[in-house]
Structure 1
Amino acid sequence: MEYPSIKQFLANTSVYPVLGKALTLENTAQLDFSPSNERLRTVDLSNTEAFNFFVFDELRKQGKAFGIGGYFEHRAIYSRSQVFATAAEDFRDIHMGIDIWAAPLTPLFAPLDGVIHSFQDNAGFGNYGPTIILEHEINDQKLYTLYGHLCLEDLRDIHTGQVIKAGEKIAHIGPFPENGDWPPHLHFQLMWDMMGNWGDFPGVCSHREQEKFQAICPDPAYLIPFLI
């Protein structure tokens, strides 16, 4: 199926930054979780406190409030959880969204008008934890935005079909372990097609599926925005 480019979809549409502010070189560090980062080999990634220290120590050293990276990045950090081992020959380690690493309880905002499509707590070590998916429609084309690793409290008092306006606070970056037991960050992902999913959508794919999912999941940077 042919999908529009995200730039075409957003033409003549105002976008509210998901973090409430644009991410820039002044406030943001690029974090590398690919196999080429040899420093990762010194970290016990199965220990969330150790992993958390690694991430936020890097931000402290660089004097940055946010870390960012990961759109279709080949990652070395998913060995920490069996969530990603769908089959021995088809391990999922290609990250399909963007991660924004920031302090727990950092507020998050809707980038576009829309409605709540679905939400749930995808509990389990290494999973999304609390997750909200919004549905947006412009010129009869739908786009879905996924927010993973939230606070459990964010799932209270919301309902599917709830109208959300651009710039409305929708959630917060969750602390571990309630966020799926990750160092605090937002997993932010776009999907043209939910593929029958509800309250969840794969955030990581195998190398074999990369081309398929890259067509379905456009670059979220245009909705953060980050140096676009």
Structure 2
Amino acid sequence: MENFTEVLSKINTAKVIAPQIDYSDYVALDLSIDNEELAQSNLQNAKEYELYIQRFLDRNKAKIAFGGYLETRNLYQRSTVFKNLNSEERNIHIGLDLWINQTASIHAALDGTIHSFQNNTALGDYGPTIILAHHLEGFTFYSLYGHLSVDSITNKNVGDVIKQGQQIGNLGLPPINGDYAPHLHFQIILNIESNFGDYPGVCNAGKLDFYSNNCPNPNILLKIDNNT
């Protein structure tokens, strides 16, 4: 029997953001602690990141910047969601980010049903979030779409049937989206446990083995690197 990542790698998926934009107009973006330009920029808020990302897109003649899976980042330090006195700092990103500084439609990667949705309102959190459930070749798994607009989670019901490529919402803007530069956080989850409308998108080093296995690289599904 094939393992889960092998199954994902065979799927022809839909684009999850602004499907009219070709993958040739995507560019890989490094927001890790190893990015010296980013460290020197000393960015502190959503607007500063938005300007940084737009300059990067313009410099590369691109429309969407993507990346971030298993990237260790400093951008979460302003939020107690990721760093407080009672827990180890979470700073390793376990989803894929798609950055675009304009309104954009968000679409289901695969056929599925709505598992859950909610507005995660803390500073630095997802803001409005939708999670879909999928069943494929004996696997049940989930896709998470974070940093959406508030209207994305209105008039929806748990269990609603969603078709591949169907628009499920729109990209959110700061501060509604957790106060980030506009981007979609897209994540694949195998075991969602009891989580509802939320699931960790950032982990600490001590739990990396678990989360990297439970949340494989979403680009195995989206295949952006194969087309850029």
Q: TM-score, normalised by structure 1?
A: 0.91
Structure 1 alignment gaps of length 5 or more: none
Equivalent pairs counted in the alignment come to: 224
Query: Is 1:176 the equivalent of 2:174?
Result: yes
Kept in 1: contact 2:118–2:129 (CA 8 A): yes
| Aligned residue among 59, 65, 68 for 1:67 | 65
Match of 1:5 in 2: 4
> In 1, distance between residues paired with 2:53 and 2:188?
24
Change (3 A) 1:87 1:144: farther
Cα 1:51–1:150 change in 2 (3 A) is same
Q: Is the 8 A contact 2:146 2:185 kept in 1?
A: yes
Cα offset, 1:92, TM superposition: 0.5
Greater Cα offset, 143-152 or 82-91: 82-91
Q: Map Cα deviations across residues 26-74 of structure 1 (whole Å, 9 max, x no partner).
A: 3112111111112223334332211211111111121110001111111
Residue 87 of structure 1 deviates from its aligned partner by 4.8
- The correspondence of residues 16-55 of structure 1 with structure 2, limited to 5 A, is 16-19=14-17, 20=19, 24=23, 26-55=24-53
Aligned to 1:95: 93
Whole-Å separation in 2 of the counterparts to 1:48 and 1:94: 19
Alignment partners' CA distance in 2, 1:189 and 1:42:
29
Measure how far apart 1:7 and its partner are.
2.3
Q: CA RMSD in A?
A: 1.9
How far has the Cα of 1:101 moved from its partner?
0.2
Percentage of identical aligned residues: 35
CA contact (8 A) 2:7 2:137 kept: no
Match of 1:211 in 2: 209
Give 1:139's match in structure 2, choosing from 130, 137, 140.
137
TM-score normalised over the length of structure 2: 0.91
**In structure 2, how many angstroms separate the alpha carbons of the residues matched to 1:116 and 1:10?**
23
Q: Distance in 2 between matches of 1:47 and 1:78?
A: 10
Tell me how far 1:10 sits from its aligned partner.
5.6
Matched, 1:187 2:191: no
Q: Could you tell me whether the CA contact under 8 Å between 1:9 and 1:138 is conserved in 2?
A: no
Deviates more, 1:193-202 or 1:43-52: 43-52
Which letter maps to 2:47?
E
In 2, Cα distance between the equivalents of 1:58 and 1:149? 21
Corresponding residue SS for 2:77: helix
- Taking a change above 3 Å as real, the CA distance of residues 139 and 190 of structure 1, as seen in their structure-2 partners, is same
1:152 paired residue number: 150
C-alpha contact (below 8 Å) 1:67/1:101 kept by paired residues: yes
1:222 counterpart = 2:220: yes
Output the CA distance in 2 between the equivalents of 1:150 and 1:44: 26
CA distance in 1, matches of 2:162, 2:121: 25
Deviation per CA, 1:161-219, whole angstroms, max 9, x where unpaired?
00000111111111111111000000000000102110000000000100011110011
- The reply to whether residue 107 of structure 1 matches residue 125 of structure 2 is no
1 CA distance for matches of 2:179 and 2:42?
Answer: 14
**Structure 2: any 5+ residue segments left out of the alignment?**
none
Distance 1:172 1:48 in 2: 18
Q: CA deviation at 1:6?
A: 2.1
Which stretches of structure 1, 4 residues or more, deviate above 6 A after TM superposition?
none
